[in-house]
């Protein structure tokens, strides 16, 4: 919340306290609905109904749609049936569905009882689409035209239906069975004569989605084609709804947050950070922490099995963290890059050999650079200044570390880039293959390489 | 590239080879410009001009805007001046500026020589805005109205200017000095009588950005307010351009990719993964790998300084990786969550104590759970089954590991959540404070705690 909105909130709280409802009404009418919702989410619950009832009907519904689900639930509990109905009547159906999805069963029942049968039917249809499908984010209100209409018929229809439609600037031309034939933009309508026939000016190459398409891939279509809305059809090609660009933006942000969370070994949550309870945050984090802690048993076992030999070369112990971290960082750089490229559609399974070939070359250059710098640093600092190695085989020990670094980085980068692609092919989530998971594998590999190189070079 | 587009590409290559240009023209007219660009980016360079010259003028410019800069540069080199001018005339100015930003100086000169003086002036203005500002992504073409106009005057103006405007559905009402007074949507125009006066129907509470605002914060406005376009004004409140939602989506995706890259210790690149050369990828990765490798010297030094004592309790060495990884994972979970919340505007500097308080409680629950499970696992598996500890003080050694885990997780989570917030306050990039950086700090802290707890409990 920025300074300007905080100041407004202060002012509003003041007006409530002093019961200056006329001033309150005036101020609220000057604030954007999204900002009013932000302010209402933060004020004391007892003041919520007072402020809300001051808002004009249409604005009230818009503000309601923007509010957090906790506040929505509280308000619904304070509404009488008439008030609830009046808010619901003004809401777009997709917003109603979003609200219903967050409410407990008893509230859902009350909401459904205040909607008419036709709306209830649409709501139930929308609720039935899988959570991650285009159907779950689409809007069922749009302007449909017939191909035999004229431009002025079209404007007439927009004027009649327009108030209720979230997007009126693209109209969809359908046949008698509601099959999608083409689209006409209001721009086309404005630039053509009033008696032009829709069929002659409509665009027939329409980009559309299926109700069951993944919502992230539909959001990606917006990125690619720069549209304001994309029509959604069912398996019989009948137009069912539209997805609008504002919903696509939400999907894009959600997807990025989810990927980021998974890459950091967090199970995704869907609430803003400060609104998530301590226990929910704990639950979203403990699963992977536990798994990764227990899987680190392997690295422990590897060290234990070399323990005896390590006592001959204690100097090598100090480099275990550096080797594991550097290889781990190298691996997670590759995995995170590939995971993001998979999300954005820049890389697919068929690219796997191009990816391996590229990562191999990058890894080789990185390995050489890191090993050389490491050798120089160990020689100059650890050996010449701190005399940190075992007498008589200082150079050999430095070599063991540098060679291990060289091999471990290459393995880490190739494993890091390939695992996410394979995970996706197998239907698993590539983001889960990110840093912490790769780190566990890379740690084990680095240690095995380290100890074997040591045995080989130092003859221990 | 999906299967459908691959099939189209095959077909197009076939038609080129057999010189069936009429069929080629027909097929191209049925494909979306963004998809044509995708296909052209992949075909052999020598075929590019042939295909491109077949496209109708307006479509050609649209396809050109969607292409990769390598292909654009190649095509420009093949264009004669007349062809270049014809493409430039059809492009939106913001697209021209995007293209110019990617071209070498000689090509830029050629482009500028083919544009008229007025356009050249606007291009130079746009090029002068900082890379991350609203000015750098805005479009200077929009519909402006005067407040004294009627609705039918407005439609007349839209019809006259509409063809050239990327967004015609929101019109901006300005005064004689181009200062922004209000907005009117085409929806408002359609729903009002032809003789209604703009001043009476315009919305005066306009959300706008400044040319020098950060482009990510402008993109966030789209997320919050669900607009199609946001007007951009200069410091004197004069309307300079508009940012459209399609550009905002690109900014949102770019910002998420950048954050993800920085979190994985990669310097951001702006090309798709497979289009980035091996050396560029190397450059974007080696800096942090090197820094983190060298900073791991500290952990090595800590181990070295305890080396002598460690030889008394060799069993403890095996748990170093587990302790460092678990604390590192815990810390990066917190830092990544907070970094994302900062990006999305859910957390600000003033929330720092709420964040610390929340992370402390989450950390406490996580620590207890992990330490208890670790104690049980070490007792049952490492001690009872593998007899992995030093005789006479098995329980003490297990306690050392479990207590260290407890403390390290709490430190890691608090440090991980606080550092990004402080970094942002100091004007640094919070994302750089993510996993690898936190890991280095947490590693050092974990080792110091580990060895001190060991000295204390085991009296070594």
**pLDDT (tens digit per residue) in B21-50:** 888 888 888 888 888 888 888 888 888 888
Question: b/e for B72-94, b at 16 or more Cβ within 10 A?
Answer: bebbbeebeeebbbebbebbbbb
CB < 8 Å to A374, chain B: 293
Top mean-pLDDT range of A406-415, B47-56, B115-124, B283-292? A406-415
Closest CA of chain A from B124, distance in Å: 25
Question: What's the predicted TM-score (pTM) here?
Answer: 0.79
Tell me chain A's radius of gyration from C-alpha atoms: 30
Question: Is residue A338 within 8 Å of A347, Cβ to Cβ?
Answer: yes
Question: Is residue A111 within 8 Å of A84, Cβ to Cβ?
Answer: yes
pLDDT of residue A213: 93
Give the up-direction half-sphere exposure of residue A224: CA atoms within 13 A in the CB hemisphere: 20
Q: What angle do CA B189, B193, B198 make, to 5 degrees?
A: 55
Residue B85: band (very low, low, confident or very high) from pLDDT cuts 50, 70, 90: confident
Using the Cβ of A311 and the Cβ atoms of chain B, whether some distance falls under 8 Å is answered with: yes
CB < 8 Å to B286, chain A: 365-366, 369-370
Interface list for A 337-366 with B (CB within 8 A):
337-338, 340-341, 344, 346-348, 351, 354-355, 358, 361-362, 365-366
Comparing CB atoms, the residue among B222, B273, B388 nearest residue A346 is B273
Question: Is residue A317 within 8 Å of A310, Cβ to Cβ?
Answer: yes
Using the Cβ of B167 and the Cβ atoms of chain A, whether some distance falls under 8 Å is answered with: no
pLDDT of residue B233: 93
Segment B344-363 mean pLDDT: 90
Of chain B, the percentage scoring pLDDT greater than 70 comes to 98
What residue in B sits closest to A207 (Cα-Cα)? B32
Most A CBs within 10 A among B32, B311, B318, hence the mutation to make, goes to: B318
Residue ranges of chain A whose pLDDT lies below 70 = 1, 162-166, 434-436
Segment B189-208 mean pLDDT: 89
Segment B314-323 mean pLDDT: 87
Closest CA to A160 of A175, A171, A173, A174: A171
> How many other C-beta atoms are found inside a 10 Å radius of the C-beta of residue B53?
13
**pLDDT (tens digit per residue) in A297-338:** 888 888 888 877 877 788 888 898 899 889 988 988 888 888
Using the Cβ of A427 and the Cβ atoms of chain B, whether some distance falls under 8 Å is answered with: no
Comparing CB atoms, the residue among B292, B338, B354 nearest residue A326 is B292
Using the Cβ of B305 and the Cβ atoms of chain A, whether some distance falls under 8 Å is answered with: no
Q: Which residue has the higher pLDDT, A394 or B248?
A: B248
**pLDDT (tens digit per residue) in B423-439:** 888 888 787 776 667 88
pLDDT of residue A146: 87
Q: B330: which DSSP letter?
A: H
**pLDDT (tens digit per residue) in A356-384:** 999 999 999 999 999 999 999 988 888 88
pLDDT of residue A70: 86
CA distance linking residue A433 with residue A421, whole number of Å: 9
pLDDT of residue B386: 76
Kindly list the distances between the CA atom of residue A103 and the CA atoms of A33, A66, A111, in Å, as whole numbers in the listed order: 22, 15, 10
Residue B357: band (very low, low, confident or very high) from pLDDT cuts 50, 70, 90: very high
Interface list for B 79-98 with A (CB within 8 A):
none
**Inter-chain touch A337–B266, beta carbons under 8 Å:** yes
CA distance linking residue B83 with residue B47, whole number of Å: 17
Kindly list the distances between the CA atom of residue B112 and the CA atoms of B109, B137, B176, B337, in Å, as whole numbers in the listed order: 5, 19, 31, 46
Strand partners, A150: A197
* Three-class HEC string of chain A: CCHHHHHHHHHHHHHHHCCCHHHHHHHHHCCCHHHHHHHHHHCCHHHHHHHHHHCCHHHHHHHHHHCCHHHHHHHHHHCCHHHHHHHHHHCCHHHHHHHHHHCCHHHHHHHHHCCCHHHHHHHHHHHHCCCCEHHHCCECCCEEECCCCEHHHHHHHHHHHHHHCCCCCEEEEECCCCEEEEEEEHHHHHHCCCCCEHHHHCECCCCCEECCCEHHHHHHHHHHHCCCEEEEECCCCEEEEEEEHHHHHHHHHHHHHHHHHHHCCCCCCCCCHHHCCHHHHHHHHHHHHHHHHHHCHHHHHHHHHCHHHHCCCHHHHHHHHHHHHHHHHHHHHHHHHHHHHHHCCCCCHHHHHHHHHHHHHHHHHHHHHHHHHHHHHHHHHHHHHCCCCCCCCHHHHHHHHHHHHHHHHHHHHHHHHHHHHHHHHCCCCHHHHCHHHHHHHHHHHHHHHHHHHHHHHHCC
Q: Residue B371 has which token pair? A: 């330490």
Most B CBs within 10 A among A65, A209, A318, A319, hence the mutation to make, goes to: A318
Strand partners, B232: B209, B241
Question: Is residue B403 within 8 Å of B455, Cβ to Cβ?
Answer: no
Q: Is the pLDDT of residue B162 over 70?
A: no
- The complex's ipTM works out to 0.78
Comparing CB atoms, the residue among A272, A370, A434 nearest residue B293 is A370
Residue B165: band (very low, low, confident or very high) from pLDDT cuts 50, 70, 90: low
CB < 8 Å to A253, chain B: 223, 252, 256, 344
- CB-based contacts of B80, cutoff 8 Å, min separation 6: none
Question: Is residue A410 within 8 Å of A367, Cβ to Cβ?
Answer: yes
């Amino acid at each position: 919340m920025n300074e300007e909105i905080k100041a407004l909130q202060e002012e509003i709280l003041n007006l409530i306290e002093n019961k200056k409802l006329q001033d309150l009404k005036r101020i609220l009418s000057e604030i954007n609905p999204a900002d009013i919702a932000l302010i209402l989410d933060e004020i004391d619950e007892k003041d919520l109904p007072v402020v809300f009832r001051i808002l004009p009907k249409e604005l009230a519904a818009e503000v309601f749609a923007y509010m957090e689900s906790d506040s929505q639930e509280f308000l619904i509990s304070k509404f009488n049936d008439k008030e609830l109905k009046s808010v619901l009547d003004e809401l777009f159906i997709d917003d109603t569905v979003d609200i219903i999805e967050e409410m407990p069963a008893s509230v859902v029942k009350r909401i459904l009882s205040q909607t008419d049968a036709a709306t209830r039917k649409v709501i139930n249809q929308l609720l039935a689409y899988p959570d991650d499908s285009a159907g779950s984010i689409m809007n069922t209100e749009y302007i449909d035209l017939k191909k035999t209409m004229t431009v002025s018929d079209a404007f007439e229809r927009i004027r009649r239906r327009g108030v209720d439609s979230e997007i009126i600037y693209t109209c969809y031309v359908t046949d008698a069975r509601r099959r999608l034939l083409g689209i006409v933009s209001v721009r086309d309508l404005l630039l053509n004569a009033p008696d032009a026939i829709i069929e002659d000016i409509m665009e027939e190459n329409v980009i559309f989605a299926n109700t069951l398409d993944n919502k992230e891939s539909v959001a990606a279509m917006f990125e690619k084609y720069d549209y304001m809305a994309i029509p959604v059809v069912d398996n019989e090609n009948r137009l069912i709804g539209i997805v609008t660009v504002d919903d696509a933006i939400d999907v894009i942000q959600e997807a990025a947050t989810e990927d980021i969370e998974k890459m950091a070994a967090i199970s995704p949550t869907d609430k803003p950070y400060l609104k998530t309870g301590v226990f929910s945050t704990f639950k979203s984090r403990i699963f992977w922490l536990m798994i990764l802690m227990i899987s680190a048993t392997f690295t422990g076992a590897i060290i234990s099995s070399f323990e005896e030999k390590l006592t001959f070369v204690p100097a090598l112990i100090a480099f275990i963290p550096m080797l594991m971290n550097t290889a781990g960082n190298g691996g997670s750089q590759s995995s995170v890059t590939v995971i993001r490229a998979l999300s954005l559609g820049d890389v697919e399974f068929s690219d796997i050999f191009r990816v391996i070939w590229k990562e191999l070359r990058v890894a080789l250059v990185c390995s050489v650079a890191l090993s050389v710098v490491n050798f120089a640093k160990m020689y100059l600092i650890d050996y010449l200044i701190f005399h940190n190695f075992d007498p008589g085989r200082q150079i050999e020990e430095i070599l063991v570390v540098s060679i291990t670094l060289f091999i471990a980085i290459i393995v880490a980068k190739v494993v890091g880039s390939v695992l996410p692609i394979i995970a996706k092919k197998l239907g698993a989530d590539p983001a889960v293959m990110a840093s912490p998971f790769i780190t566990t594998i890379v740690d084990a590999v680095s240690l095995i390489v380290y100890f074997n190189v040591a045995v080989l070079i130092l003859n221990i």
